[in-house]
């Protein structure tokens, strides 16, 4: 019993109540966010759209997501985290309900774009609010739990989506809207505003230029980190974009692909809570280099994979890499952001994922077609480049974080 309690203290102890309400809202949101998983099937089966048009509508959702990420970051720093979260959740619930009863394809395309905006707006605000309320020493654990909740919610969503889609597509969208509305109620009742107005601490503010989104877009240290995260995201996207094609080329059935994906999800749900204690003694850049190296090894191993056992073994390796990478990746992103631009930095960081969701299938499909199994050697090489990049960029990032902490502490010393 003592061992279990100690493990829980190491994993989640000392986190404030506001974090747990944010965590609950995120879990409810993700567990109910399943309508878009079946959007292309809904368009083709229920609305008679050709696959090409269905692909364009799904792509419109992705474009909306990129715009929503930036918009959410700006609003979270101006309006506040709570206001942005509430506005995004309420808008998403209303749009999803409208989507349930829309029949015209042009209207569905517009609504899908707006849903993409509303679905992506909360991400910067969620993370910025977590950084606001969680002490620095506990942030790695908080981000680990955030990653765990996200994947647990997606696992639940995948299960429920299949059941609801067989019963009714209208029910699929309406239950999604209800879950989003429930998350909004939790935030409205239990999450206070966490944004505190501080004097500007960025070098540009000192020089007399008002800090804004341009500060994040011209911050070289931060952009190097974003570029390395983009490479990691390209690796991660292989599982949902290129790997199914490779498995089909190897003569494997769709059920085999589902088993590989399910194995990765199960490993994260079961093992993610043990990650903070495992990585705590090591520098974040070292952990990211090792984790990205594991992902490179896992995907590179698919060069020789021709049966389900090898795919499953490779999935174990790259999933462990993903699990190790999640907490330090999120914490470095938070540490590099000046307090008054926290959400804007988050929005630029989160742009890597829609960008990777476009680049991975667009270039990956061409690479697989031209190179065949050697495509996975290219993917593995990208992972090794990212691993080396984290080792080289780590010292500069640490110096930058130390400077930001010193600048943040200076007003406190002066006040005292």
Spatial separation of the C-alpha atoms in residues 259 and 252, rounded to whole Å: 11
Spatial separation of the C-alpha atoms in residues 129 and 16, rounded to whole Å: 12
Q: Do domains 14-138+164-192 and 213-416 have the same CATH topology?
A: yes
Which element (helix H / strand E) includes 132?
helix 122-133
The set of residues, in sequence order, having a beta carbon less than 8 Å from that of 40 and lying 6+ positions away, is: 51, 54, 55, 57, 58
Closest Cα to residue 311, out of 354, 230, 253? 253
Q: What is the DSSP letter of 209?
A: P
pLDDT tens track, the chain, 416 positions: 555 556 555 555 678 999 999 999 888 888 777 667 677 767 877 788 787 677 778 778 878 888 899 899 999 988 999 999 999 999 999 999 999 888 888 899 899 899 989 988 998 999 899 989 998 888 888 888 888 888 888 777 766 766 777 778 888 889 889 999 999 999 999 999 998 765 444 444 433 445 677 888 889 999 999 999 999 999 988 887 788 888 888 888 777 887 887 788 888 888 888 888 888 889 999 999 999 999 999 999 999 888 889 999 999 999 999 999 988 988 898 889 888 888 889 889 988 887 887 788 778 888 888 888 899 999 999 999 999 999 999 999 999 888 887 776 665 455 45
What fold does the segment set 14-138+164-192 form as a domain?
Growth Hormone; Chain: A; (1.20.1250)
Residue entry with tokens 């419109």: 60
Question: Could you give the angle at which helices 17-32 and 122-133 cross, rounded to 10 degrees?
Answer: 160
Q: Determine contact, residues 384/296, Cβ cutoff 8 Å.
A: yes
Superfamily of domain 213-416: MFS general substrate transporter like domains (1.20.1250.20)
Which element (helix H / strand E) includes 32?
helix 17-32
3-state SS class at 362? helix
Domain positions in the chain are: 14-138+164-192, 213-416
3-state SS class at 249? helix
């Amino acid at each position: 019993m003592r061992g279990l309690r100690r493990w829980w203290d190491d994993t989640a102890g000392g986190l404030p109540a506001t974090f747990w309400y944010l965590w609950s809202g995120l879990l409810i949101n993700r567990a109910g966010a399943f309508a878009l998983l079946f959007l292309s099937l809904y368009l083709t089966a229920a609305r008679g759209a050709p696959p090409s048009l269905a692909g364009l509508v799904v792509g419109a959702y992705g474009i909306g997501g990129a715009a929503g990420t930036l918009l959410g970051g700006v609003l979270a720093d101006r309006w506040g985290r709570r206001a942005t979260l509430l506005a995004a959740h309420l808008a998403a619930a209303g749009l999803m309900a409208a989507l349930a009863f829309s029949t015209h394809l042009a209207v569905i395309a517009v609504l899908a774009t707006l849903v993409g905006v509303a679905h992506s707006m909360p991400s910067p605000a969620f993370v910025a609010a977590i950084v606001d309320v969680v002490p620095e020493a506990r942030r790695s654990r908080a981000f680990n739990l955030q990653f765990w909740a996200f994947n647990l919610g997606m696992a639940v969503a995948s299960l429920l989506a299949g059941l609801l889609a067989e019963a009714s597509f209208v029910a699929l969208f309406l239950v999604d809207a209800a879950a989003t509305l429930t998350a909004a109620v939790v935030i409205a009742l239990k999450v206070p505003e966490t944004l505190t107005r501080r004097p500007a601490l960025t070098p540009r503010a000192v020089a007399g230029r008002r800090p804004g989104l341009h500060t994040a877009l011209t911050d070289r240290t931060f952009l190097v980190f974003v570029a390395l995260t983009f490479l990691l995201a390209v690796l991660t996207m292989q599982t949902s974009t290129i790997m199914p094609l490779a498995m089909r080329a190897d003569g494997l059935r769709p059920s085999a692909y589902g088993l590989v994906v399910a194995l990765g999800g199960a490993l994260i749900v079961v093992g993610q809570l043990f990650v903070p204690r495992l990585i705590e003694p090591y520098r974040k850049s070292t952990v990211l280099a090792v984790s990205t190296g594991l992902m490179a090894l896992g995907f590179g191993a698919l060069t020789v994979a021709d049966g389900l056992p090898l795919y499953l073994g490779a999935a174990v390796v790259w999933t462990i890499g993903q699990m190790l990478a999640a907490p330090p990746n999120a914490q470095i992103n938070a540490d590099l952001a000046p307090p008054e631009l926290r959400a804007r930095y988050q929005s630029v960081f989160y742009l890597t994922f829609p960008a990777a969701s476009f680049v991975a299938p667009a270039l990956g499909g061409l690479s697989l077609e031209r190179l065949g199994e050697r495509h996975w050697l290219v993917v593995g090489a990208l992972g090794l480049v990212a691993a080396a990049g984290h080792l080289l960029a780590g010292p500069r990032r640490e110096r930058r974080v130390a400077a930001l902490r010193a600048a943040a502490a200076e007003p406190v010393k002066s006040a005292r």
